[in-house]
C-alpha cells in the first residue's frame, strides 16, 4: 500500500485526508497552520515538519492548497517537496489551477524521476466529507492506474481525461457551468423576490424541473437562510475563472460568459466577500436591484 503525504488541510483537504485514513492508508500531513494537522494526528496521521520532510516519508504526495503561488511555496521553497521527494514517487495536484502550470510541474518533477498527475475535484466540501467527489485526472495512464485506489478512497466518479493538463482543463470547463449556474440562481431569485413569489416554493419547483442543479439543491436553500459561509470560497471561484479566461486566450476563443462571471466575482472580492461562499453572489444582485 502507498504511504501518502497530504499537504493543505483546508475546507477540502481535511475531509479528503480523513477519508484516506478511513480507507486504511498510512498518512503523513502538513499544513501552514498547525490546528488541522493536530486534528488529523488525533485520528492516526503523522505530522511532518515541512513539505520536504513529508515528501521524504511518502511514496505518493497529494497537495490541496489554494493557488499557484501556494503550490510554488509547497514545492520549490527551501523546505519544499523538491528537497525531499524520492525517485519513483508520485505528486498529485488536486487543487484547481492552470493546465499550462500542470505541464510545467510535470516537467519539473520528471527531472527528479517523479511522476505527476493533475487531479482537480468537483462536488464541494459536502462531496469531500462524504467521499463522493468527482475527480478528473490528467497524466500518464499507468500512473493514473497506480493511484486509482487512492482516488476511490476520496471520490465516487473518477475520470481519466488524457495527458498532463487535461484534468485541469476539464475542471475549468466544469467551473464555467458552476459559475453560470450560480449567476442563474441569483437572477431567478432576484426576479422572484421582486415579484413577491414564495422563494422557498420557487427553489423547490425549479429544482424539480429542467432548471434543477447541484447548486439549486445545495446552495439556493443557503441563500434563502442568509447563510453565506463557504463550502467553496468566492475568491477561489474568481481564481478558476481567471485561469479559464487565460486558457481561452491561449486557444483564441471567445468565452463571453466566463469573462462576465469573472467581473462579477471580482466585484464580490472587492467588496471584501472573497472568503464567503460562492452563493454570496446573491449579495451583489441584492445591491444592484435594491432588494
The contact mask relative to ligand NAP for 237-266 (x = CB under 6 A, - = no) is ------------------------------
Question: Which residue, 32 or 103, is less far from ligand NAP as judged by CB?
Answer: 32
DSSP 121-177: EESHHHHHHHT-EEEEEES-HHHHHHHHHHHHHHEEEEEEEESTTHHHHHHHHHHHH
Which of 236, 244, 283, 284: binder of ligand NAP (CB under 6 A)?
236
Least separation in angstroms between CB 63 and ligand NAP? 9
Q: Which of 115, 140, 85, 16 is nearest to 6 (CA)?
A: 16
Contacts to ligand NAP from residues 180-209, by CB under 6 A: none
Residues in the chain: 291
Is 125 a binding residue for ligand NAP by CB under 6 A? The answer is yes
Which of 12, 60, 136, 247: binder of ligand NAP (CB under 6 A)?
12
Taking the C-alpha atoms of residue 75 and residue 182, their distance in angstroms, rounded to an integer, is 33
Least separation in angstroms between CB 126 and ligand NAP? 8
Cβ contacts of 132 within 8 Å, gap of 6 or more: 123, 126, 155, 156
CB 152, CB 158: distance < 8 Å: yes
Is 273 a binding residue for ligand NAP by CB under 6 A? The answer is no
Which of 5, 15, 80, 231: binder of ligand NAP (CB under 6 A)?
231
Per CB under 6 A, residues contacting ligand NAP are 7-13, 31-33, 36, 64-66, 70, 73-74, 95-96, 121-122, 124-125, 231-233, 236
Amino acid at each position: 500500500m502507498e504511504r501518502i503525504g497530504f499537504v493543505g488541510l483546508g475546507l477540502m483537504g481535511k475531509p479528503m485526508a480523513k477519508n484516506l485514513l478511513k480507507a486504511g492508508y498510512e498518512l503523513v500531513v502538513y499544513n501552514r497552520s498547525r490546528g488541522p494537522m493536530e486534528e488529523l494526528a488525533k485520528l492516526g496521521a503523522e505530522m511532518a515538519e515541512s513539505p520536504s520532510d513529508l515528501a521524504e516519508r511518502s511514496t505518493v504526495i497529494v497537495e490541496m492548497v489554494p493557488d499557484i503561488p501556494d503550490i510554488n511555496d509547497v514545492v520549490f521553497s527551501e523546505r519544499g517537496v523538491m528537497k525531499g521527494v524520492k525517485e519513483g514517487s508520485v505528486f498529485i495536484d488536486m487543487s484547481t489551477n492552470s493546465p499550462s502550470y500542470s505541464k510545467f510541474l510535470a516537467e519539473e518533477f520528471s527531472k527528479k524521476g517523479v511522476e505527476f498527475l493533475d487531479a482537480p475535484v468537483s462536488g464541494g466540501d459536502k462531496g469531500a466529507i462524504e467521499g463522493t467527489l468527482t475527480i478528473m485526472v490528467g497524466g500518464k495512464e499507468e500512473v493514473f492506474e497506480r493511484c486509482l485506489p487512492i482516488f476511490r478512497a476520496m471520490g465516487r466518479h473518477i475520470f481519466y481525461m488524457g495527458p498532463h493538463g487535461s484534468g485541469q482543463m476539464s475542471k475549468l470547463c466544469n467551473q464555467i457551468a458552476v459559475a453560470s449556474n450560480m449567476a442563474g440562481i441569483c437572477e431567478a431569485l432576484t426576479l422572484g423576490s421582486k415579484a413577491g413569489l414564495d422563494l422557498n416554493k420557487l427553489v423547490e419547483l425549479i429544482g424539480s424541473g429542467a432548471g434543477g442543479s447541484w447548486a439549486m439543491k445545495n446552495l439556493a436553500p443557503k441563500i434563502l437562510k442568509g447563510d453565506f459561509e463557504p463550502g467553496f470560497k468566492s475568491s477561489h471561484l474568481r481564481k478558476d475563472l481567471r485561469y479559464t479566461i487565460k486558457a481561452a486566450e491561449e486557444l483564441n476563443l471567445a468565452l463571453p460568459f466566463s469573462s462576465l462571471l469573472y467581473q462579477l466575482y471580482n466585484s464580490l472580492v472587492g467588496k471584501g466577500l472573497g472568503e464567503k461562499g460562492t452563493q454570496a453572489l446573491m449579495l451583489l444582485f441584492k445591491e444592484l436591484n435594491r432588494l
